[in-house]
Amino acid sequence: MKKWIITGTVLAVGITAYVVLLGAGDTKKGDEMPFAFAQKGDLVIDVLEGGNIQALNFLEFRNEVKLPNGIKILEIIEEGYYVTEEDVAKGKVLVRLDQSELEEAIVDHDVEFQQTDALYAEAKQNIEIQESEALSEIKAARQSLRFALLDFQKFVGADAARETLRKLGLPFDNDSLSAYETEATDLIVSAFDADKGAGSAPDESDDSNIASFALVANDSLAANVNFSSLLKEEVLGDGEAEQTIRRMRDEALLASSELSVVEESVEGAKRLHQREFITKQTLENELVGLDKARLALQRTETELELFRDYEFPKEAEKMLSLYEEALLSLIRTKREKLALMSQIYAKYRTVKRRYELELKKRGNLEEQLASCVIRASQVGLVAYGGANTDYYTSRYYDGITSGATLKVGQPIITIPDMSKLGVEVKIHESHIKKVQLGQKVYITAESVPDKTLVGRIAKVAVLPDSNASRYNPSLKVYPATVEIEGTHEFLKPGMSAKVEVIVDELENVTYVPVQSVFVENGEHFVFRKTLGGYERQVVEIGAHNNDFIELRKGLEEGDQVYLKMPDDYEPAQVDKSRLARRPVPAGPQPDKSEEATTASEDVKPRPDKNA
């Protein structure tokens, strides 16, 4: 690669010298101007920049002690000392800072921290106790609610209870109870948060937050239920009331059957008494039995009617009312415990926040104390300051030496990783569009100019370097990192180096000097030398730079072109109306005049392979 670059440079110099000599001879004649030949061959388009070799990976130690007046260096290893593996194994001390002021601060902080720790432990214990009590009471209220529902279902039957509760809009099973409790809890929490946000305590007289449950505080829904209709519609299931009614019906049926038997027995006794087969006393005994059977039947029928008309509605309403009260009791218990736990949580959060701040402060002090002693942890050379310290940041800090005072965040020492080196360069804004990640780069260290290294573009900044434009706002450069392939013992961090970024490699193209191409009305052209003088030749340009420009159409190899505009050439007048009617192509367009007169890259000709 280097060989053909050198060969191309020599060829370019030769062509330029030939042109100059030829132009000088023609000037003497007065009938010709300087010209050059259109050549065909390979072109290498590159960007040349300078930079410093740096370690891409490094171990940097900074001052982490945050004291108002800074901290002093008690002892520090000499710069250039090579940290060995034995030093790393033994934990050799590289830097020792004055930690006396930090130790005093830690002692003072311990007193405050112990008090805060005691308050935090008390608040934490209290919240656990109150949570346990609150959960126990809510659990008891929830259990009472389930038992009240079961009692109502047991009495009227599951189907009748479900239908009744559904009509009233009340929970009727475990799933609806769970949904009811969830909705109620959400409403309680939202109402409580609204009251708390307004800066007032919850209004106990405001029942709007439970209106969706169809519960009226001054009346009972059970009072509006016609339980007698359940008997008429015969919708009672196998509940306790249905079993009672069945038992009473059976008793009445049995009494009726016994009455029929007794009546037949009395009729038979009467016939026997008429025939004087039995005594009158025996007949009278049969008649007494008849009266008893009639009274038993009447009693059972009366008990059934009383149960159906009075006892059943009363017990059903009573159990439904208990169920309603259990629903309200659960909501009330949750409201009370939420208000109580909110106060406890607020106190706990305050104490916890204070504890965390003190704990963080204590940990920070201990970390700062530990950072006062820097030990060897990586093999390499010791360098004072930071790896990326530049002129502007270095002016802010004092020099690193024993007895110097360090500021917060000031770099102390750096141990670079020599196995992976690179070059930090700054790309001018005129070149930045041509530089892409992964492009091949050739690096030459100024101290070792006879060796050329290969690398790749590893990183390109999105924004320009603010420090570079601090004193020259018009200067815009973009930091970029070049990664050097392989390891090289002769390279050292801080060496100056030249970087050649290979932007493109054009093969077998026609090119001429850039000063031979002109622009007129948006059209590129050259002045081709002819036997009778010159000819204006329109061309299509390609890649270019300060030295050469590619011509895709318009000239052939060996054609001669003038390097300046002939004196007798009169440019055509620009038709501004025609230019105004010319459609503007979509998307960003390159600056044609800049393409023809300036260059973003250094272009070197590659000699023809057949030469």
Stretch (H or E) spanning 533: strand 533-538
Q: What percent of the residues of the chain are helix, what percent strand, and what percent coil, each to the nearest 5? A: 45, 25, 30
Domain-embedded: residue 389 = yes
What is the percent of the chain where pLDDT is above 70?
80
Kindly report which listed range (25-39, 261-275, 468-482) carries the lowest average pLDDT score.
25-39
pLDDT bin (cut points 50, 70, 90) of residue 96 is very high
Residue 206 is predicted with a pLDDT of 44
Note whether 353 and 227 are same-domain residues: yes
- Which comes out higher in pLDDT, residue 120 or 607? 120
Provide CB contacts within 8 A for 3, sequence distance 6+.
Answer: none
| pLDDT, tens digit (0-9, with 9 covering 90-100), for 454-498 | 999 999 988 888 877 667 778 888 999 999 998 888 888 888 999
Q: What is the CATH number of the domain that holds 394?
A: 2.40.50
pLDDT for 25 beyond 60: no
Domain-embedded: residue 343 = yes
d(C-alpha 201, C-alpha 600), whole Å? 73
Domain-embedded: residue 224 = yes
What is the percent of the chain where pLDDT is above 90?
16
Note whether 180 and 215 are same-domain residues: yes
| pLDDT, tens digit (0-9, with 9 covering 90-100), for 152-185 | 888 888 888 888 888 888 888 888 888 888 888 8
| pLDDT, tens digit (0-9, with 9 covering 90-100), for 101-128 | 888 888 888 888 888 889 889 888 888 8
Helices (H), 198-311: 228-232, 240-274, 280-306
pLDDT for 586 beyond 60: no
Residue 295 is predicted with a pLDDT of 92
pLDDT for 213 beyond 50: no
Can you tell me the mean pLDDT for 207-234? 58
Dihedral Cα 134, 136, 138, 139, nearest 10 deg: 160
Kindly report which listed range (27-31, 258-262, 441-445, 455-459) carries the lowest average pLDDT score.
27-31
Note whether 376 and 356 are same-domain residues: no
pLDDT bin (cut points 50, 70, 90) of residue 401 is confident
Domain-embedded: residue 82 = yes
Residue 95 is predicted with a pLDDT of 94
Note whether 406 and 322 are same-domain residues: no
C-alpha distances out from residue 310 to 150, 241, 538, Å? 22, 12, 116
Residue 528 is predicted with a pLDDT of 93
pLDDT for 545 beyond 80: no
Write out the E strands in 81-182: 82-83, 93-97
Note whether 147 and 182 are same-domain residues: yes
Residue 47 is predicted with a pLDDT of 82
| pLDDT, tens digit (0-9, with 9 covering 90-100), for 4-17 | 443 444 344 444 44
- Which comes out higher in pLDDT, residue 204 or 303? 303
Residue 541 is predicted with a pLDDT of 92
What does the mean pLDDT of the chain come to?
A: 79
Give the range of the structural domain holding residue 383, as residue numbers without chain letter.
Answer: 64-98+372-416
Kindly report which listed range (82-86, 385-389, 571-575) carries the lowest average pLDDT score.
571-575
Note whether 256 and 376 are same-domain residues: no
Note whether 172 and 224 are same-domain residues: yes
Residue 331 is predicted with a pLDDT of 87
Note whether 126 and 92 are same-domain residues: no
pLDDT for 31 beyond 70: no
Question: Two tokens at 188?
Answer: 């309680």
Domain-embedded: residue 261 = yes
pLDDT for 29 beyond 50: no
Domain-embedded: residue 572 = no
pLDDT for 216 beyond 60: no
Note whether 194 and 274 are same-domain residues: yes
Residue 579 is predicted with a pLDDT of 45
Kindly report which listed range (257-266, 384-393, 481-490) carries the lowest average pLDDT score.
384-393
Note whether 81 and 185 are same-domain residues: no
C-alpha distances out from residue 17 to 23, 30, 393, 433, Å? 10, 20, 48, 33
pLDDT bin (cut points 50, 70, 90) of residue 233 is low
Residue 195 is predicted with a pLDDT of 59
pLDDT bin (cut points 50, 70, 90) of residue 397 is low
Domain-embedded: residue 110 = no
Structural domain count, the chain: 2
| pLDDT, tens digit (0-9, with 9 covering 90-100), for 236-259 | 767 788 788 888 888 888 988 888
Residue 73 is predicted with a pLDDT of 92
| pLDDT, tens digit (0-9, with 9 covering 90-100), for 409-437 | 889 998 888 888 899 899 888 888 888 89
pTM above 0.85, yes or no: no
Write out the E strands in 351-390: 373-375, 380-381, 383-384
Note whether 126 and 196 are same-domain residues: yes
d(C-alpha 64, C-alpha 411), whole Å? 10
Note whether 272 and 171 are same-domain residues: yes
Domain-embedded: residue 3 = no
- Which comes out higher in pLDDT, residue 190 or 561? 561
d(C-alpha 411, C-alpha 531), whole Å? 72
